[in-house]
Structure 1
Amino acid sequence: MDFTYDEEQQALREAVRGLVGKAYSDYETRRRTVAEDPGFDEQQWGRMAEMGLLGLPFSEDDGGVGAGPVEISIVAEELGRVVAPEPYLSSVVWAGGLVSAVGTAEQRAEVLGALAAGESLLAPALAEPGRRWANDATAVTAAEDGGSWVLAGTKEPVLHGARADLLVVSAMLPSGGTGLFLVPGDAPGLTREGYATHDGGRAAKVSFDGTPATPLGEAGADVAASISTVTDIARVMACNEAVGAMETALRTTTAYLTSRKQFGVTLNTFQALTFRAADMYVSLEFAKSLAVWATMVVAAGSPAEIAEAAQRASLQVSRAGRHIGQEAIQLHGGIGMTAEYSIGAYTSRLTALDHLLGDGAFHLRALAAAVGDHEEVDPLP
């Protein structure tokens, strides 16, 4: 595999870095942005749409650009570098990916076209209270009445669910299985209770009470397999975003060690602290290699291969994110715990990404359960 970017990919990286880097070059700008609803800069979201970033994963027929997973990973990593609060991962990669995978041609053109233009914000309503990282639905049920569909139940947490113009909702079908439905934000019988999350984002408790819904794709079809694959792709892109955040956390920490003085010398003079920073670098490189490899698998692999790659990358990124985030705060000392300093925000975002689509323990269990599926091999001499 060739892990280097070509000229167009490098140009995309520089363009995205210039856009989000300019917007959030000052950490105080990010703090002010997340302090007020909707928790991100809608003007910045519009600028991302103008650059074509919101339509990057989708085909040209659906109003997008038709780029591949590598290009999406570049955007995710650059957003992670500045912990940009814009809901690219949840709205474009996850919710938009579900519409792209399951929707009819008319639905894809309408929904994804509006998303790509920055005219509509999507939110994936898949998570359910009391359940963790499941691809099927039980808490929300769908019922058909005279050719129309209605939903009942609760989804939580729904990322940016209070602000979303359109919800992509998973629900249990009358015949069994899980279907996907589109629900406008102003639909009757829909209740949304928004709140701030620890990393500065927004989520909501979304309740349905006889809420009208439009089936996404074929009515009554079980799409649990498609939900699983799109979620795995979102996991890989979350890994890339985490890599961007970890790179900045490490760079910020090493800069602090070379500037902060104690006993008349800079902190990097103390060998023990330098060794700890070196260990952070090793964790980062392991995580980055797995994230890049998993992205390449998404570009050419089968659903089963994508699932395993997502699990392997997510496990390594989970371990690296915890290690780098905690060490970054420790090496900063007391100032690392203050809200005024950026390193805490990076650690909080890494923690949120770790728990969004399955933490390290979740992926380790899945990988361990599949060990018996592999053939035995002789040890290397």
Structure 2
Amino acid sequence: MNFELTDEQQQLADSLRKYLGNAYDFEKRKAILNSPSGVNEKVWATFAELGLTAMTLPEADGGFGGGAVDLMAVMQACGEALVVEPLLDNIGLAGRLLAKAGNEAQRSAWLPGLADGSVQLAFASSEPGHRYDLTPQTTTATSTADGWLLNGEKIVVIGAPTATRLIVSANNGNGTSLFLVDPQAAGVTLKAYRTVDGIRAADIHFSHVKLGADALLGTAGEALPLVEEAVDFATALLCAEAVGAMQFACDATLEYLKTRKQFGVAIGSFQALQHRMVDMVVATEEARSMAILAAAKADDASLTPTERARAISAAKVKIAEAAKLVREESVQLHGGMGMTEELKVSHTFRRLTMASQRFGDADHHLERYAALA
């Protein structure tokens, strides 16, 4: 199989990497983290100008109809720069759900804005005490004469503080349903915070939130397969992003080993440290191969849901294992300074830690892989 990028894919990734190198260096990233919103509107506008926010949307909705393979190099560049803007959650998760489940009116109302960068979406799925379960347990939607009544709580909703609309999963009594919710609506309470790796998220409480009939996405009670597909797609993008972060950790650590001297020589000349550096590189390359596999399987429409899920879980397990080795070795080889706020390696450690946990840790995906055998 040919794993080379097309000219268009490579040019897009190169353009993004060049932009991030100038506008998103480590000091500018720290300024974004410390800003009131925790994101940079100019960066998001540039993402839209580059076509990133429209990449995976259908052409009929103002997008380019791209897939996970088209975004692999883009997500790797975002991982290298430790981008905190919720690109993955908008185009690979919430936007994908709206494109697949929404009717013509819902898609025309929101997807063109997502494509041009004027709209942001966030998917609210996780619930307290239920970890990686995609089936809503405590968030309920009750049918009323005028529409729906939403109650419950969602946690760690990435991108919620800046979202124009939330896509919320809820149990309507017959299964999983999806709803478009205004985060400013009466009864919606957001508790915003910054995750350990700097991304803005929120815990959201829904108390008797009144929704119109047009808030329902797709058919009531039948949304779970769509949610599972979108989360698998987003997991493939997350794998690519993690590879980018691992690549930076390898590059930064190798440079440090070449320049840091002890006993009058560069510590990279010590064979024991060379072996550890090689382990990091090998783990990163193995992770890269699995990220390619995950993206290819996420785009393969001929696969059954079970075949797709097994491939994504296999990739996530290997990515999590590689991320653990690379993040720990990069910090240890930098010594005590590897954990300081002033060094990007410490921030990369946190991003890789979050990537290992998000959408299911290694144990979760091992169990899912076995259960689908």
The bucket for the TM-score relative to the shorter chain is over 0.9
* Residue of structure 1 in register with 2:171 after alignment: 172
Q: Which among 187, 196, 200 is matched to residue 198 of structure 1?
A: 196
Q: Deviations over 1:130-181 (max 9, x none)?
A: 111111111210011114112011111111222211101000013x200000
Shift of 1:259: 0.5
Moved over 6 A (4+): none
- Partners of 2:335 and 2:146 lie apart in 1 by 62
- Partners of 1:38 and 1:315 lie apart in 2 by 33
SS in 2 for 1:54: helix
Check the 8 A contact 2:143/2:172 in 1, yes or no: no
Query: What is the alpha-carbon root mean square deviation over aligned residues?
Result: 1.3
Question: 1:105 aligned to 2:107?
Answer: no
So what's the TM-score if we normalise by structure 2? 0.96
Instruction: Kindly report which structure 2 residues correspond to 1:78-227, keeping only aligned pairs within 5 A, or say none.
Output: 78-174=77-173, 176-213=174-211, 214-227=214-227
Instruction: Kindly report which structure 2 residues correspond to 1:9-24, keeping only aligned pairs within 5 A, or say none.
Output: 9-24=9-24
Unpaired runs of 5+ in structure 1?
374-381
* Residue of structure 2 in register with 1:356 after alignment: 358
* Residue of structure 2 in register with 1:379 after alignment: none
Identical columns (%): 37
- Partners of 1:63 and 1:149 lie apart in 2 by 30
* Residue of structure 1 in register with 2:335 after alignment: 333
Segment of structure 1 superposing worse, 202-211 or 310-319: 202-211
SS in 2 for 1:123: strand
So what's the TM-score if we normalise by structure 1? 0.94
Letter in 1 for 2:281: Y
Check the 8 A contact 1:104/1:216 in 2, yes or no: no
Shift of 1:77: 1.1
Segment of structure 1 superposing worse, 326-335 or 136-145: 136-145
Check the 8 A contact 1:99/1:216 in 2, yes or no: no
Shift of 1:3: 0.6
Question: 1:249 aligned to 2:249?
Answer: yes
* Residue of structure 2 in register with 1:378 after alignment: none
* Residue of structure 1 in register with 2:7 after alignment: 7
* Residue of structure 2 in register with 1:282 after alignment: 282
- Partners of 2:299 and 2:55 lie apart in 1 by 14
Check the 8 A contact 1:249/1:325 in 2, yes or no: yes
Shift of 1:219: 4.4
Question: 1:51 aligned to 2:50?
Answer: yes
Question: 1:300 aligned to 2:306?
Answer: no
SS in 2 for 1:156: strand
Check the 8 A contact 2:136/2:170 in 1, yes or no: yes
Check the 8 A contact 1:63/1:109 in 2, yes or no: no
* Residue of structure 2 in register with 1:376 after alignment: none
- Partners of 1:184 and 1:198 lie apart in 2 by 26
Shift of 1:332: 0.1
Letter in 2 for 1:156: I
Number of residues paired by the alignment?
369
- Partners of 1:257 and 1:216 lie apart in 2 by 55
- Partners of 1:219 and 1:228 lie apart in 2 by 16
Question: 1:37 aligned to 2:36?
Answer: yes
Check the 8 A contact 2:245/2:348 in 1, yes or no: yes
SS in 2 for 1:154: strand
SS in 1 for 2:161: coil
- Partners of 1:158 and 1:139 lie apart in 2 by 16
Letter in 2 for 1:329: V
- Partners of 2:367 and 2:74 lie apart in 1 by 30
Q: Deviations over 1:347-380 (max 9, x none)?
A: 100111111110111111222334xx3xxxxxxx
Shift of 1:212: 2.5
Instruction: Kindly report which structure 2 residues correspond to 1:303-314, keeping only aligned pairs within 5 A, or say none.
Output: 303-314=305-316
Letter in 2 for 1:244: G
Unpaired runs of 5+ in structure 2?
none
Segment of structure 1 superposing worse, 49-58 or 7-16: 7-16
